[in-house]
Amino acid sequence: MAIRIGAGTIRLEKPVAIAATAAVGSRMEKEGPLGAEFDRLVEDSSFGEKSWEKAETKMQTLAIELALQKGNTTAEQVDVMLGGDLLNQCIASAYAVREQGRPFLGLYGACSTMAESLTLASLLVESGAARKALAVTSSHFCSSERQFRFPLDYGGVRTPTAQHTATAAGAALVGMAGPITVREVCIGRVVDLGVTDMNNMGAAMAPAAWDTLRQYFTDTGTSPADYDKIITGDLAQVGSDLLVRLAAEENCDLRPRYTDCGLMLYEREKQQVDAGASGCGCSAAVMCAHFLPAMQQGKYRNILFMATGALMSPTACQQGESIPGIAHLLHLTAKGGTN
């Protein structure tokens, strides 16, 4: 039974756990600060395929297979897979799960997808609808640039607010037992403060991040000091600064606990990624390569993970629409973790 706490938070009464995770990346991710923590790094970002889209499918397939392997689980033991990605019609996921032959729920949450899939996977396991569920997502720099901005060959100049889409995939196996427990989830609302700059996703997402985080703090009566880490998906420099400022305006100091996956995946100056990393694969890989394994090793015991998505459509932007943001939150604890 899931219990509603306050106006927007859902507490999981039965034990739901993240049993195993896997992260896959490419050359840029290898050269970044977290390179050594990935499960698989394929330097050739084509992954041996003939198109960037097929490469992304291959990368997501690798993440699924590695997570299953690390969880000593066969695909047949997974009752449902939940995933999505940034490509139109979410084809990276559709073609990746096609090979698995398991029930599939396709999601679209832009870069919030890892939190959305983990939230739903956790709720389905808690309710008994699934014994094991797998959450997966990916992004690929080259397929994203072509679809959302310019073909790579065009050599478009980037703005300082732009973020570099991670070429990465993350998969997490959710079940009834495992080292990391899912305590609560908070499903976010679509928030849009009118940002229209397609090269400033961080600014578009920050208000949604604060909306969800404030809801969760209000519902649970907790504050940043109650957590070891508060981790957002891919706000990068511009969005992170904005989130900290939005929180400060309501007398909430996030800084002592706060970090953002978009600031962790690359060395910004050296790797020339402007404001930082982005893409569904960014927070998926940083969580699956770094934070969730670190929790398993006892380095963190009590965290909030909130992936943020900019529901940005080139068509809508060309029609003068602003970019809506969304953010979903999970409260995770490891053995000995409180709250």
Site residues, a copy of itself (CB under 8 A): 1-4, 8, 10, 50-51, 53-54, 79-80, 84, 87-91, 94-95, 97-98, 101-110, 116, 119-120, 123-124, 126-131, 147, 186-192, 311-316, 319, 321, 324, 326
CB of 62 or CB of 82, closer to a copy of itself: 82
Q: Which is nearer to a copy of itself, 17 or 41 (CB)?
A: 17
- C-beta of 193 vs 294, nearer to a copy of itself: 193
Nearer to a copy of itself, 186 or 243 (CB): 186
One-letter amino acid at 320 equals G
Q: What is the closest distance, in whole angstroms, from the C-beta atom of residue 185 to a copy of itself in the complex?
A: 8
d(CA 119, CA 220): 17
Q: Measured from the CB of residue 125, what is the shortest distance to a copy of itself in angstroms?
A: 10
- Specify the residue, 135 or 187, whose C-beta has the smaller distance to a copy of itself: 187
Q: Closest approach of Cβ 331 to a copy of itself, in Å?
A: 15
Beta bridge mates, 20? 173
Closest CB to a copy of itself among residues 102, 214: 102
- Name the nearest CA neighbour of 278 among 322, 246, 310, 305: 310
- d(Cα 291, Cα 283) in Å, to the nearest integer? 10
At residue 32, φ and ψ (nearest 5 deg) are -80, 175
259's CB contacts (< 8 A; 6+ apart) are 229, 230, 231, 232
**Residues 108-141, buried b or exposed e (16+ Cβ, 10 A)?**
ebbbbbbbbbbbbbbbbbbeeebebbbbbbbbbb
CB of 14 to a copy of itself, least distance (A): 9
The nearest distance, CB 7 to a copy of itself, in angstroms, is 9
Q: Is 50 helix (H, G, I), strand (E, B) or coil?
A: coil
The Cα 306–Cα 259 span in angstroms is 11
Q: Please identify, using beta-carbon distances, which residue of 70 and 131 lies nearer to a copy of itself.
A: 131
Q: How far apart are CA 233 and CA 279, in angstroms?
A: 9
Taking alpha carbons only, the member of 183, 68, 165 closest to residue 118 is 183
